[in-house]
Amino acid sequence: FTNQAYAKIKSTALTATYDNFLRISGDKAKRIDLVLGAGLGAMDYHLDSQVAGYGDETVWSTTLAFKTGLDFELAKNITLSANMRLLLPTREHYSVAASYIAGGAIKYVF
């Protein structure tokens, strides 16, 4: 076994989704919403080879984006959000089959 690095890989994703908010429970003051979204975007990966004879490579692809998550309204102006996005590249022979992004946020609505 060896601890030698052969390449470094970086990835970037830019997406825009249309989100639908479906109320699960609660009233206008405190509620829980299911968030479902779909959209388009672009993603790339950059391969930085550490081996002599292999060059660097950046490959872009158009991407289908799907989003699911939950919004928890804690107060009138504060919402806790947790979501997961699935990015599916549309380019043939793209080295990445899918990319998953999990995230969350605290939103202040005024």
Q: With bands split at pLDDT 50, 70 and 90, how would you rate the model's confidence at 103? A: very high
Strand partners of residue 34? 22, 70
Spatial separation of the C-alpha atoms in residues 54 and 51, rounded to whole Å = 6
Q: Is the confidence at residue 1, as pLDDT, over 80?
A: no
C-alpha atoms less than 13 angstroms from C-alpha of 40 in its C-beta half-sphere:
3
Residue 2: predicted pLDDT: 77
Residue 28: predicted pLDDT: 67
Q: Is the confidence at residue 92, as pLDDT, over 80?
A: yes
Residue 29: predicted pLDDT: 67
CB 79 within 8 A of CB 50: no
Q: Is the confidence at residue 27, as pLDDT, over 90?
A: no
Q: Which of 99, 81, 80, 88 is nearest to 39 (CA)?
A: 88
Condensed to tens digits (0 to 9), the pLDDT of residues 29-86 reads 678 999 999 999 999 988 888 776 777 888 899 999 999 999 999 888 899 999 999 9
Spatial separation of the C-alpha atoms in residues 95 and 60, rounded to whole Å = 11
